[in-house]
């Protein structure tokens, strides 16, 4: 009954969840149960690649929530993603223990290299998984709260907000490039060994991380859909369409925006935390403004304000990126650039919008 109602109210979402379910079943089976000699075997590399796309999809979902439904264009969402990733990276770094190049049981290699004597205070506690996970949620959330509280209270909107969020991620990138910050500087963190005692290179761990990504994406989708369909969601859409009117009706616009912004940042942080153990590295390049803008185009290509559009866009664009950068490395930036221009001019509602329009015109 509930499923049927869900299908009728959100057909795209139902397809998405079904697709994710299929992925969750088929991919582990093809990777673990099918022998390597079989043509149906899925290599661990591919599993990790799909897992990476799913992390991007979660990030796109987070952006679509605030851009598509509340009209807040953040050009700095990559910063929250990277902060979540760094929190996870710090946990994985502590797990290396004395297996590093210098064999120091307490200090990560880069700190030994910099002649540091003891662990800085902000690294304390990261050897515990629960603490690291708490930080994955808290750090991006707190930054988003402080930033959003200042911005929304003084009614910084539209283009101005876009530019200062870009400045935010740029400033963070410059900061994380500094060795003195104690986050590995230019090289970031890598050479991770294991997570919760499981070897990161093992197929089983990879598949488990993949499953975690699928489940997180599906749960996040359902939560986002729930928020959008609730009364809260209606107020948020009202803010997007007529901010002043909503304010005059009596809603505290700033609170709604701030709440949604923080939630979106937390989702982005979780995406980053899932991303790092799968790709095995985190460095300040993740803060680059270009990454955050690319993220916006994923959402725009898929179709904003539809949630599943963002997921679709992230998967498609990233698959295209993997394909192009391998086959025609010269062409990728041309293709990406053209995508930006063409999608904004000809596909304001993205690919999903195109499909919907077609369906609406043929009754």
Partner 1 sequence: MYSFRKHSVFFSLLILLGLCGFSLPAVADFDAAVQALNSKSFSKKADAIIALAETGDEKAPVVLQAMLDSRLYYRKSDRRVVIVEKIDGGFRLADAATAQPLGEAGRRAVKKIGINNKLRGLLRDTLARLSLTSKDPAQRLAAAKIMLGNVNAATKPVLAEALARETDADIREVLETAAAMSDLENDDRTVRLRAVRLLDGSLEPEVRNRLNRLLEIEADQEIAAAVQQAIKSIEFKLKFNGFIETVFFGLSLGSVLLLAAIGLAITFGVMGVINMAHGELIMLGAYTTYLVQLLMPNHIEWSILVAIPAAFMVSGLFGIAIERGVIRFLYGRPLETLLATFGVSLLLQQLVRTTVSAQNVTVENPAWLSGSLEINAALSLTYNRLYILLFCLLVFFALMLILKKTSLGLQVRAVSQNRAMARAMGIRSKWVDAMTFGLGSGIAGVAGVALSQLTNVGPNMGQAYIIDSFMVVVFGGVGNLWGALVGAMSLGVANKILEPWSGAVLAKILVLVFIILFIQKRPRGLFPQKGRNAEN
The nearer residue to partner 1, 16 or 306, going by C-beta atoms, is 306
**Alpha-carbon span 265 to 335, nearest angstrom:** 29
Q: Residue 29 carries which DSSP code? A: I
188 binds partner 1 (CB under 8 A): no
Question: What are the Cα distances from residue 141, in Å, to 144, 268, 270, 302?
Answer: 5, 9, 10, 26
Q: How far is the CB of 361 from partner 1 (least distance, A)?
A: 22
Spatial CA neighbour of 191 closest among 100, 124, 283: 100
The one segment of 2-10, 16-24, 30-38, 292-300 that binds partner 1 by CB under 8 A = 292-300
Q: Is 71 helix (H, G, I), strand (E, B) or coil?
A: coil
Among 13, 108, 233, 289, binds partner 1 (CB under 8 A): 289
Give the 3-state secondary structure of 329-349. Answer: CCHHHHHHHHHHHHHHHHCCC
Residue with smaller CB distance to partner 1, 75 or 274: 75
Residues from 165 through 184 that contact partner 1 (CB under 8 A): 166-168, 170-171, 174-175, 177-178
Give the contact letters, 128-157, x = binds to partner 1 (CB under 8 A), - = no: -------------------x--xx-xxxx-
Strand partners, 195: 198
According to DSSP, the β-strands at 194-195 and 198-199 are antiparallel
Residue 74: CB minimum distance to partner 1, A: 11
Q: Give least dist CB 154 to partner 1, A.
A: 5
**Cα-based distances in Å from 16 to 21, 238, 307, 314:** 9, 26, 10, 13
CA angle 83, 57, 69 (to 5 degrees): 90
Span of 18-26, 30-38, 42-50, 336-344 interacting with partner 1 by CB under 8 A? 336-344
To partner 1, the closest distance from the beta carbon of 243 in angstroms equals: 14
Per-residue mark of binding to partner 1, 58-77 (x: CB under 8 A): ---------------x----
What beta strand segments (E) does 188-236 contain? 189-190, 194-195, 198-199
Contacting positions for partner 1 (CB under 8 A)? 73, 147, 150-151, 153-156, 158-160, 162-164, 166-168, 170-171, 174-175, 177-178, 289-290, 293, 296-297, 300, 330, 333-334, 336-341, 343-345, 348
């Amino acid at each position: 009954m509930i499923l049927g109602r869900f299908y009728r109210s959100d057909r795209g979402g139902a397809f998405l969840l079904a697709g994710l379910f299929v992925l969750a079943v088929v991919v582990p089976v093809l990777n673990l149960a099918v022998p390597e000699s079989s043509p149906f075997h899925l290599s661990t590399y591919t599993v990790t690649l799909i897992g990476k796309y799913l992390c991007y999809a979660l990030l796109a979902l987070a952006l679509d929530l605030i851009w598509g439904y509340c009209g807040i264009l953040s050009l700095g969402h990559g910063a929250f993603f990277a902060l979540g990733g760094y929190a996870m990276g710090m946990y994985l770094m502590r797990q290396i223990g004395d297996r590093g190049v210098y064999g120091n049981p307490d200090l990560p290699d880069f700190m030994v290299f910099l002649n540091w004597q003891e662990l800085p205070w902000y690294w304390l506690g990261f050897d515990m998984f629960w603490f690291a996970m708490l930080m994955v949620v808290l750090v991006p959330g707190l930054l988003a709260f402080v930033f959003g509280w200042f911005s929304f209270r003084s009614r910084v909107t539209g283009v101005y907000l876009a530019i200062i969020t870009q400045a935010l991620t740029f400033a963070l990138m410059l900061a994380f490039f500094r060795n003195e910050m104690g986050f590995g500087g230019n090289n970031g963190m890598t050479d991770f060994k294991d997570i919760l005692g499981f070897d990161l290179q093992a197929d089983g761990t990879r598949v488990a991380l993949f499953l975690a990504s699928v489940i997180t994406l599906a749960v996040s989708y359902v939560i986002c859909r729930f928020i959008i369909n609730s009364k809260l969601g209606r107020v948020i859409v009202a803010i997007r369409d007529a901010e002043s009117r909503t304010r005059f009706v009596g809603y505290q616009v700033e609170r709604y925006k701030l709440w949604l912004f923080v939630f979106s940042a937390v989702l982005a942080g979780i995406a980053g935390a899932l991303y790092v153990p799968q790709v095995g590295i985190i460095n300040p390049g993740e803060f680059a403004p270009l990454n955050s803008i690319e993220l916006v185009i994923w959402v725009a290509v898929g179709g904003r304000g539809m949630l599943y559009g963002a997921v679709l866009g992230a998967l498609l664009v990233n698959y295209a990126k993997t394909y192009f950068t391998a086959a025609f490395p010269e062409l990728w930036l041309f293709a990406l650039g053209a995508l930006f221009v063409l999608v904004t001019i000809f596909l304001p509602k993205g690919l999903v919008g195109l499909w919907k329009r077609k369906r609406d015109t043929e009754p």
